[in-house]
Each structure stands twice: as C-alpha cells, then as structure tokens.
Amino acid sequence: MKNQSSDRLLTRAYLFKFALAALGMLLLISCGRGDKGKSIQIALVTKALDSEWWQRVKAGAEEAAKANPDVKLAVLAPEREVNIDQQVAILENQITKGVSAIAVAPAGAAEVIPVLDHAKAAGIPVVIMDTDVNWPSKLSYVGADNKRAGSIAGDYIVKTLGGKGKVAVIRGILGVATHEDRLAGFQESIAKAPGIGCVAVQPANSERALGMSVMENIFTSHPDLKAVFATNDQMALGAVEAIAARNMTGKVIVVGVDATSEAVRAVVAGRLAADVAMHPEVLGRKSVEAAIQAARHQPVEPRIDTGETLVTKENASEFLRQ
C-alpha cells in the first residue's frame, strides 16, 4: 500500500510538471503570435476632406500605409475647415480608442493643443503636419514652409508688376498658422518694393464661393487693382471667377497656393498667373511614415520639409495630374 501511494504521488507530480511545461509552451507560442499579428493603428486627422488638396494628402497617406502590411490607417476630418470643434471631437475619440499614433493638421491651435495634451498623457505619440503649432510635446512637424510659400508668391507678383501697383490678399481662416505664415511671407516680400501697395487683406475661410464674393467686394473699393494673392487655391479660383465676370482676365493677376489640378489647368489657360505647389501626396506619405516610426518607438526627425515650387505656364505640365 505504501509503495502504491508513493507511485501515485510521483505520477501526480510528473503530470503536474508536464502540465506546467505544456502551459508555458502554449503561452510562449500565444505571445509570439500576438506580437507578430499585432497591427499598428494610425489616425491621420486633417482639416477637411472636401477639396482636391486634402484628397491628395489622403492618397499619399494611404500609399504609405499600404507599404506597411501591419499598419491600419484611418483618415478622418471635420466636414469643413471652419469646424474646429468637430476636429477636436475626432481627436478625442481616437485617443479614447487608444490608437498607436496620431498625425494631425491642426485647424486651430488654441482649441487643439489641450486635446493633444490628452494624447500625450495617454502615451500616444503625435506628429504635427501641414500647420505647425507651438506645442513642445510634438515628435515632428511635417510640412512645407508656409512663410516661404507666401514669399515666393510675393516675389512673383513684384516681378510681374515691375515693382508698381495695388495688390490685395484673400486669406484663410483668421488665426490659423498656415494662412498667417503665408500672409507674413507675402507681406515681407512686397515690402521690399516701395511701389507696391497692399490695399486689402480679407478672409474667405478657404472657400471658393466666399473667395469670389470677397473678390467682388475688393473690386468695388479698388477698381484699379493689379494683383491678388490668395492663400489657397479654392479662394484663388473664386477670385478668378469674379475677375472673369468683369472681363478683367489677364488685367488682374492672381497667384494661389497648393497647385491643385484645376488651379494648374487655370495657369495653363492664363486665368491664374501662377501657383505655389505644396506637394500634398508627399505631405500625406511622410506624415504617416513619421507616425509609423513613432508607433514603433523609432527615432523621428523633428522637422520634415516637404518643399514648395512655383508653378507657371513654363512648368505647369509637370504638375498636371493624369
């Protein structure tokens, strides 16, 4: 009886050790599979998706995501650029979901920075794109130099007008750094030409219809206007329509920013004098690539410059999308 009891105890001990070993092996395999199959969740939050510009940013972002099979990308945006509260709500929702990283083009710094602090507190890395903000916790800024873009437009207008004439600016939403910087660069450029006078700076909220209306109002006060700088293409194309309605095409030059395909075609046709390309596909692609690096705890460059290029009739064909 004593030997049988000892044998049973030894058998139980052996079975217990075997079960522990088997459980450990299963856990090891399970953990290995979980790590291998775990996806990276990237949220790209733009200012809107209601224009070709932002759709091209989205296309570039999706290109970067497709090159990384373990990445799941969500491209989100408010209905319009002026809907800053909606962008804030989108960001808060992505933080609650616990995404791996966020790339965001802030629609308004004052409203967005507090929610970015929430992302930091949740351990979610944030990449700022398109519109830089003074937020010390950003991992990187991805985008063009908006002040330089405004300066390029200003230099072109000064040269085309021979350093003389009245000009006006149709700008985007007040307080948004993208448009503030483009305006500042433009003003610094034309200040070098004493014969150039800026007679009006009016907002049109990056909207085409409003750009047309603002242009009509400026014409009423300044019928001898010679040039217009619009801080994005939607407003530039609206201004072009107002100029055409007065049979002033070619007599009042317009320069925009973004180089959307419609704007480039307008350059080719002579309705738009020039445009400043900001390379949206590059912006989307590099923003997602930076966010992926951040999610993988890899080093990210603090500033990633996507560049600007002046588009005129001479090189417009290079920027036309097929």
Chain segment 302-311, per-residue pLDDT in tens: 999 999 999 9
pLDDT at 12 over 90: no
pLDDT of residue 125: 98
Q: What is the percentage of the chain residues whose pLDDT exceeds 90?
A: 82
pLDDT at 84 over 80: yes
pLDDT of residue 177: 87
pLDDT at 217 over 50: yes
Q: How far apart are CA 49 and CA 277, in angstroms?
A: 18
pLDDT digits (tens, 9 = 90+) for 142-191: 999 999 999 999 999 999 999 999 999 999 999 888 899 999 999 999 99
Q: Read off the pLDDT band of 298 (50, 70, 90).
A: very high
Q: What is the percentage of the chain residues whose pLDDT exceeds 70?
A: 88
pLDDT of residue 175: 87
Task: Annotate 241-258 with three-state secondary structure.
Answer: HHHHHCCCECCEEEEEEE
pLDDT of residue 28: 37
Average confidence (pLDDT) over 62-91: 96
Report yes or no: 266 and 125 within 8 Å, Cβ to Cβ. Answer: no
pLDDT digits (tens, 9 = 90+) for 105-148: 999 889 999 999 999 999 999 999 999 999 999 999 999 999 99
pLDDT of residue 2: 43
pLDDT of residue 6: 47
Q: Read off the pLDDT band of 78 (50, 70, 90).
A: very high
Q: State which amino acid sits at residue 113.
A: I
pLDDT of residue 321: 59
Domains annotated for the chain, with CATH where assigned, are 39-142+281-304 (3.40.50.2300), 146-277 (3.40.50.2300)
Strand order of the β-sheet with 165-171 is: 196-203, 165-171, 227-230, 253-258, 274-277, 309-311
Report yes or no: 280 and 118 within 8 Å, Cβ to Cβ. Answer: no
pLDDT digits (tens, 9 = 90+) for 219-269: 999 999 999 999 999 999 999 999 999 999 999 999 999 999 999 999 999
- For 163-196, give one letter per residue: b (16+ CB within 10 A) or e: eebbbbbbbbbeebbbbbbbbebbbebbeebeeb
